[in-house]
Amino acid sequence: MAVITIFNGKEGIGTIPNVKYGAGESFKSVWGEIVASNSLDVQFTNDLNRVLAPMEIQVPRINNTPLPVKVHNSKFTPGGVDTSAKEFRAYMDKFDMTKSRGYNIFNFDYSDETILEAQNYNIDLDNEALQAMKTFRGTYINKYLPFSRLKSIITGTTQSDEVPTLDSGTAGLAGYKRAFGFARGEDFADFLTTTDGVTTRNHYRTTVASTYSSTDITNAIDLITDTNMYSGKGVIALGNPRIIQNLALLANAPENADIAYFGNVTEMFGASFKKIEGFHKEFLIFLDKGYIEQSGTPLLVRGVEVTEAQRGFGIMIKNNLNSFETVSDMNGSKTRVFPEEWYMTYRLSGAILDIAGGTRADASGTMQELSITALENWVTTMNSYFINIE
């Protein structure tokens, strides 16, 4: 019977029985890259991970297990998620709700001829594997994890490349449950604390004029704070460093401050602004700071495999492995990102602002087709950094 052993760094390789372990430094470092990839301390060297990871909760995908969301009434099914709200069906139909298939990244696959040639020409296969693993760790930490989280915030779930469809005013709780992702036209009268009589909400925003102003910024913040879903813990805005610096000049902002979970931020317009290297220069994303896993109300739900070993980044080792002395002992093994999906469930707890202006501005302050296209193109760019090969 075929046996598969999985190593993801949560248990030492010494726990695998009947295996002889080598002492080569390069080869030991291959395993160290797996451990580092699954370490929060290492993951938090990326600013997006540092901000968004505390806002998620991992939930094993057990059939009929509810997602831990107060108002969404969703649950896991063998193929993905489902909900009692009939309005959700149209949203569900526009993307593949099956469990993601995971990503195989690197095969340890060395023919006898390759091994003999390496010995003949003194080629260090262990070191070559180590350099490859370092590259994969960088991609996993700096691309896959942050962009998966960011994509789910933009579209509502990693299962979709599109933002929620524009709605014409679905009423009350049904509006809250019709999709994952930020509000886009539904009636949220049951959740609002405003007194102006306007109960529909669209949290996909654009500038009113051809250039952004402080009013565009504060309006986006108010969308989050003027609801009874607001935590009262403040708002954090994510943006490109150049854009946040320009906003700081506009606001005559004070010096940067260091706050729990999020690190160094710039306080202005009644919110905390976090500079994210490589962030899109045409968008700002606003989030309720109180929606963190430790508060019991996470912004993101991360559906993971039931078996803890099959989570994160690991090595799958097949059959009769007798030694870990060199990388060639691992022929047929492969590194893998195990299947998982993210869902953004609190529809009034964030907003996205297009600050490109020009033809993408609109007097209504809500994103029009050009803005939506630009936002979804950003998602396409994120997808291009990793390829599903199974």
- Return the residue matching tokens 């565009």: 216
Confidence class for position 293, pLDDT limits 50, 70, 90: low
Categorize the per-residue pLDDT at 21 as very low, low, confident or very high, splitting at 50, 70 and 90: very low
**355 — pLDDT class (breaks 50, 70, 90):** very high
| pLDDT reported for residue 109 | 74
- Cβ pair 270, 221 in contact under 8 A: yes
> Contact 81/365 with Cβ under 8 angstroms?
no
Give the mean pLDDT of 1-26.
59
- The predicted model gives 16-20 an average pLDDT of 48
Residue 314 belongs to what domain range?
Answer: 4-383
Express each pLDDT in 110-159 by its tens digit.
Answer: 777 777 777 777 777 778 888 888 888 999 999 999 999 999 999 999 98
Residues 6+ apart with CB under 8 A from 255: none
What are 390's two structure tokens?
A: 């199974």
DSSP-derived 3-state class of residue 116 = helix
Report the pLDDT averaged over residues 7-34.
62
- CA atoms of 29 and 174, how far apart (whole Å): 52
If one compares 83 and 237, the residue with the highest pLDDT of the two is: 237
- The answer to the question of residue 141 being in a domain is yes
- Which has more confidence, 99 or 133? 133
- Reported as half-sphere exposure (CB side, CA atoms, 13 A), residue 144 has a value of 25
Beta-ladder partners of 162: none
pLDDT band, residue 54 (cuts 50/70/90): very high
Confidence at 25, pLDDT banded by 50, 70, 90: low
CA-based angle 86:87:88, to the nearest 5? Answer: 90
Whole-prediction pTM: 0.90
What is the average per-residue pLDDT within 87-112?
70
- Name the more confident of 129 and 60: 60
Name 268's bridge partners: 271
Residue by residue, DSSP assigns 225-278 as HSBTT--SS-EEEEE-HHHHHHHHHHHT----EEETTTEEEEEETTEEEEE-TT
Q: Which whole number is the average pLDDT over 222-230?
A: 94
244 lies in a domain? yes
Structure tokens at 109: 């696959």
For 297-318, what is each residue's pLDDT tens digit? Answer: 889 999 999 988 899 998 887 7
Residues 6+ apart with CB under 8 A from 364: 208
What's residue 277's pLDDT?
Answer: 94
Does residue 388 belong to any structural domain of this protein?
Answer: no
Distance spanning both ends of the chain, measured CA to CA: 23
What's residue 145's pLDDT?
Answer: 96
Please check the confidence at residue 322 and state whether its pLDDT lies above 80. Answer: no
Question: For residue 390, is it within any domain?
Answer: no
Q: What is the mean pLDDT of residues 19-38?
A: 70
Q: Among 56, 55, 357, which Cα is nearest to 236's? A: 55
142 secondary structure, DSSP code: I
pLDDT digits (tens, 9 = 90+) for 271-291: 999 999 999 999 999 999 998
Residue whose structure tokens are 């952004």: 212
Q: Is the pLDDT of residue 84 over 80?
A: no
Residue 254 near residue 199 (C-beta atoms within 8 A): no
Give the number of domains in the chain. Answer: 1
Task: Give the Cα separation of 203 and 304 in Å (integer).
Answer: 28
Look at residue 304 in the predicted model and tell me its pLDDT: 92
**Would you tell me how many other CB atoms lie within 10 Å of the CB of residue 102?**
16
With 0-12 / 13-18 / 19 or more C-beta atoms within 10 angstroms meaning exposed / middle / buried, residue 64 is exposed
Query: Where residue 227 falls among pLDDT bands split at 50, 70, 90?
Result: very high
What mean pLDDT, rounded, does the chain reach?
Answer: 85
Nearest to 27 by CA among 105, 111, 132: 132
Tell me, yes or no, whether 43 lies in a domain: yes
Are the C-beta atoms of residues 192 and 226 closer than 8 Å to each other? yes
What are the residues whose beta carbons fall under 8 Å from the beta carbon of 250, sequence distance 6 or more? 214
Is 158 in contact with 151 (CB distance < 8 Å)?
yes
